[in-house]
Amino acid sequence: MALVTLVTAVSGACTWAGFKLSEAALNDYAHAVAAGTAGVGQRRVGLFTVTSSQRLTGGGVSFAIAGSGSFLSLEEYGMAYLPTGSDDGGEFDELDRHLGGDWYLWMTD
């Protein structure tokens, strides 16, 4: 149990640190997805490899992080850019935590 707690704490800290180091690139990518100019497919954005990008209402964007749902954690996770805030009318109900600014982390089992 202690190992699971440690892995969860470290992976959360790594995700947040990666987000902070990649925030400018993530913002640029979110704006391109929202505008429909980002193209499709998996790509590197900052320190993350993102996939399954989708536009949300209100100029929001969601995407999965490639490689999540690995043997260390069965949960898939990704990020959501929600410029109108986390109360998006129920379109996105899997938000796990606020990363900073308009960014949120989501997880699915």
pLDDT beyond 90 at 103: yes
8: Cβ–Cβ under 8 A, 6 or more apart, which residues? 73
Between CA 58 and CA 88 the distance in angstroms is 8
Tens digit of pLDDT for each residue in 60-91? 999 999 876 555 556 788 999 999 887 655 55
The pTM of the full predicted model, rounded to 2 decimals, is 0.78
CB atoms within 10 A of CB 36: 8
**For residue 108, what pLDDT band results from cuts at 50, 70 and 90?**
confident
